[in-house]
Structures are given as structure tokens and as C-alpha cells.
Amino acid sequence: MQTPSTLPSLVDRVLEKFDRVAPPTEVFAHCDIPCGIYDPHMAQVAALTVVRMVQLIEGLQQPGANASKNEWDTYGMQISRYTAIKEEHARLCEHELIILWTDYFRPEHLEKHSNLHDVVWKTAKLTSTVKQQINMEAAQQLLAGCQQIAEIFWDTKGVKTKRQPSNQGQVGGELVYPTT
């Protein structure tokens, strides 16, 4: 015997009858926002920022034994600030990569770029590494992974790319840009 909680509600029965008379149209969507909004540029800039913050952290000179309180305070503030920015941009990079992976890339992109899953996975994992460590090699690998993802992204749109110097002073590095 059915209990009241297992009986179809009046609303369910009405909707079921309505669906028989006018079946709902099946729709398909692959993203949460309109297509054309996606762009791997922010992930690349975030990765480049991580590289720069690691450069700045590695370049800080620890005050000597006879340093003043002000020198120690300045050192502590600088390393804290650089670390916070490094971690913030690593999170931003990860967020942008995950959006591309979950909302933009589709099975046909994986068919064309069989390494896509591996590249995105390894690059996203690097965001954790650069948050946990002061590691220039990992920061450079993060940037390289973002560049590779950008090249794949634009290829899925049939757009050629070029690597161009970032022109960000001491940080150096390249960014991948679409060409027309």
C-alpha cells in the first residue's frame, strides 16, 4: 500500500498530463554563460603574476643580525604581501582553468587534443604547488601549462595564436594571443 508521501501529488499528476499534451522541447547547453565570454588570458596573467611574486620573494634580503625593528617589520610586511598576492593569483589561475575545463571544453575538443585532460589536470595541480611553496620551477611550469591550454583553447575556435613577450619588465615571460 502506498503511503501519502509516496503518492503522486496533484501538481505532479497535472504536469504529467500537460507533458502528454504538449511534450517539453529537449534543449542542450554546454555552458552557464553565453559562448564567446571564455578566454584563457586571465589564467595566463595570473600565472605570470605568480612568477613575479616568486621573483620578488626570492630577491628579498633578510635583515642582518643587527637590523632595526623597522627593517624587520618592513621585511615581514613585504614577504607577507608578496606571498598573499602569489596565493591569490594562484587561486585566480585555478578558478579560470576550472571554468574552462568544466564549462568550455567539450568531448570533441578532447578528441582533437588527446593531451587536454592531462595538461589541464597537471596545470591545475600546479596551482596548489605554487601556493604551498616558493618554487620558481613550479611557477614557470604553471605559466607554461596556461600557455599550452591557451593554444588549445584558441585552436578549438579555429584561431591561430602567437606567443609574444609579456612586456612586464623584470618578470619576462610570454603570453599566448589569438591572431587574426
99-141 pLDDT tens trace:
999 989 999 999 999 999 999 999 999 999 999 999 999 999 9
Which tens digit of pLDDT belongs to each residue from 22-70? 777 765 544 555 656 789 999 999 999 999 999 999 999 999 999 999 9
Joined grid coordinates for residue 76: 615581514
Check residues 2 and 42 and name the one with the higher pLDDT: 42
Would you say the pTM of this structure is higher than 0.85?
A: no
Q: Please give the CATH topology (third level) of the domain spanning 38-61+70-178.
A: Four Helix Bundle (Hemerythrin (Met), subunit A) (1.20.120)
For the chain, give every domain's residue range: 38-61+70-178
Coil, helix or strand at residue 29: coil
Between CA 129 and CA 144 the distance in angstroms is 14
Beta bridge partners of 176: 163
